Structure 1
Amino acid sequence: MAGQEWPGGPAQVRARLEETGYLVDEGLAIACFLALRLHRPVFCEGDAGTGKTALASALAEMLGAPLIRLQCHEGIDASQALYDWDFPRQLLRLRAAEAAGVSDPALLEGELYDRRFLLARPLLRALETSPCVLLVDEVDRADDEFEAFLLELLSEFSVTIPELGTVRAEVPPVVVLTSNRTREVHDALKRRCLYHWFGHPDFDRELAVVRRRLPEVSRRLAAQVTALVQTLRAEDLVKPPGVAETIDWARALDVLGAGEVDPALAVATLGSVLKYREDAERARGLDFGAVLEGLEV
């Protein structure tokens, strides 16, 4: 999709994202619109399970563009994210050339560092795929050096490969960076981006998300699960559940054939929403019956 065909305003972005099943508020719709028009990344920060990664998938579906994902981790470096040379294939080519009697060093070097031996990692693929959506997931897990490298690449949307020359994106990718805030990302990278904080939604918005993602689930079941998750988040948990866990819980209960939730079933299925033993033990002490009785559906 060419840049001039991208949505004409924040309201259109919001409507088209919601057509994909992804609900956004006005602030996020504006951030996405500006990202498209200004070619600036969207920096999405917040707890896990609040919809940050899903935004990139929704943007890709909205634009009809491929989604290219770079999963960050401790120790990730440029060769893992950008490109590397296929050394086993180069070695095979070198042996074949020697067997054929080719001994010219310049000729051999030219053949070995040909584009066909280049392994394009996610960042290089994103520069070569126009247009596309590039998801740089959990950038907070990478180190300072990788942040600096990423900042330079996102500023120019180009990279120089010494043996081949400069690769520049014809259309800059739509970039979504996510952070679960396991550490603070440097201000220099944040300044390059449009920032949006992903908090936990209120009851009405979370229920709307569950209903949109799981239309086969009854409204009563969806509302009960949402109310229970909102109650759990009010507790001092090691890992409060995100919207993704709300959806998982509602889906699990629906698969079990439950038309509604009772306290015993809620406790029995806590493994769908809570992932720490301490949190499950705390949840078992809550009065789920009172929450369900006080819910108006």
Structure 2
Amino acid sequence: MRHLATPQEVADALDGVGYLADDGLATAAFLALRMGKPLFCEGEPGTGKTSLAIGLADALGVEVIRLQCHEGIDATQALYDWDFPRQLLHLRALDGKVDPDEAEKSLYTRRFLLARPLLRALEAAPCVLLIDEVDRADDEFEAFLLEVLSENAVTIPELGEIRAAEPPLVVLTSNRTREVHDALKRRCLYHWLEHPDLTRELAIIRRRVPGISDRLSAQITTAVRRLRSAELLKPPGVAESIDWAHALLALDRTDLDAASAAVTLGAVLKYREDADRVIAAGLDALLAG
């Protein structure tokens, strides 16, 4: 894993892979690396939480392993499972040729183990482990995560303990659809990600959308900031700003006027109610200035 000695070196390394981090985020990432603690990133959707983990992996020259959380996720889906179809085929192949006890033992070897993201991260370290949208999981899964992250090891009854030779850099993200328990947060460094300021968002769009003009990127950034200040069900994030820029360039539009905005609004607003509200308020007002 590449060694980064200061927060500025972290910021520069992220910049080199296309992720523009402010001083606070670069410092939080540096401390997570230096202290060996998970980094818990919370904020509105579209503020770059997931992209941070991917950017850190690229900057450090390691693999990123992603665990996407969802309602009902359990330890089997996150840690490991046994490949039952292959075990069954194995038993059929033995066909009584060995002692039943020996046949049973042969079923529970690494040959038939399906490693899920958490186990893969422990074995692949150094790596970046992204635990995405942990707020979608339930309390029981949080408790399970707490145990794994505290020990950087798991015990598989049939195989014994598997411990990371080098703990992965863990990045947890949350869109705050519910509050994550304090016990998990206490094990982590915490950072709240805001939407970027005007200057940084302009730089992000110009970096991610080659060939866009200064005028069009400024128009997009200004319009998106106004949308975020409106009472929308889902204010647009940086990803939507970038999508809007790509959509306008794909249509060969060089200026963001009311007509261009009307036909590309679906790139930046994802709810019909939000689009109706913006159109009712007037696209000219949105784009003024």
TM-score (norm: length of structure 2): 0.97
Contiguous gaps of at least 5 residues in structure 2: none
Contiguous gaps of at least 5 residues in structure 1: none
Confirm or deny that 1:9 pairs with 2:9. no
Q: 1:72 corresponds to which letter in structure 2?
A: C
Deviation at 1:130, TM superposition (A): 1.9
Deviation at 1:267, TM superposition (A): 1.7
- DSSP-derived class of the 1:209 partner: helix
Counterpart contact for 1:138–1:180, Cα < 8 Å:
yes
Distance 2:280 2:225 in 1: 16
Confirm or deny that 1:108 pairs with 2:91. no
Partner of 2:168: 173
User: In structure 2, do the counterparts of structure 1 residues 34 and 123 end up closer, same or farther at CA, with 3 Å as the change threshold?
Assistant: same
Partner of 1:280: 275
Confirm or deny that 1:57 pairs with 2:54. yes
Partner of 1:157: 152
Deviation at 1:293, TM superposition (A): 4.4
Distance 1:286 1:200 in 2: 23
Partner of 1:67: 64
Query: What whole-Å deviation, never above 9, does each CA across 1:25-48 have from its counterpart, x for those lacking one?
Result: 111111111111111111111111
Distance 1:230 1:24 in 2: 19
Q: 1:53 corresponds to which letter in structure 2?
A: T
Task: Percent identity, please.
Answer: 66
User: In structure 2, do the counterparts of structure 1 residues 157 and 12 end up closer, same or farther at CA, with 3 Å as the change threshold?
Assistant: same
Q: 2:198 corresponds to which letter in structure 1?
A: F
Distance 1:81 1:289 in 2: 49
Deviation at 1:190, TM superposition (A): 0.6
1:138 to 107, 129, 133: 133
Confirm or deny that 1:77 pairs with 2:74. yes
Partner of 1:193: 188
Partner of 1:35: 32
- DSSP-derived class of the 2:95 partner: helix
Confirm or deny that 1:91 pairs with 2:106. no
1:253 to 238, 248, 259: 248
Distance 2:250 2:263 in 1: 14
Counterpart contact for 1:228–1:288, Cα < 8 Å:
no
Deviation at 1:285, TM superposition (A): 2.6
Deviation at 1:105, TM superposition (A): 2.7
2:266 to 268, 271, 278: 271
Distance 2:183 2:247 in 1: 42
Q: 1:274 corresponds to which letter in structure 2?
A: L
2:177 to 178, 182, 188: 182
Deviation at 1:70, TM superposition (A): 0.5
Deviation at 1:291, TM superposition (A): 5.0
- DSSP-derived class of the 2:65 partner: strand
Deviation at 1:108, TM superposition (A): 1.1
Distance 1:165 1:233 in 2: 51
Distance 1:48 1:292 in 2: 24
1:231 to 208, 214, 226: 226
Query: What whole-Å deviation, never above 9, does each CA across 1:224-275 have from its counterpart, x for those lacking one?
Result: 1111111111110011111110010011101111111111111221100001
1:22 to 5, 15, 19: 19
Deviation at 1:84, TM superposition (A): 0.2
Distance 2:288 2:125 in 1: 53
- DSSP-derived class of the 1:216 partner: coil
Deviation at 1:288, TM superposition (A): 3.7
Distance 1:19 1:234 in 2: 31
My pick for the range that moved more, 197-206 or 69-78, is 197-206
Deviation at 1:218, TM superposition (A): 1.3
Distance 1:57 1:106 in 2: 46
My pick for the range that moved more, 115-124 or 206-215, is 206-215
Deviation at 1:203, TM superposition (A): 1.5
Deviation at 1:207, TM superposition (A): 1.0
Number of matched pairs: 289
Distance 1:178 1:241 in 2: 18
What do you get for the CA RMSD once the two structures are aligned?
A: 1.2
TM-score (norm: length of structure 1): 0.95
- DSSP-derived class of the 1:172 partner: coil
Q: 1:167 corresponds to which letter in structure 2?
A: I
Partner of 1:219: 214
My pick for the range that moved more, 176-185 or 282-291, is 282-291
Partner of 2:205: 210
Counterpart contact for 1:71–1:138, Cα < 8 Å:
yes
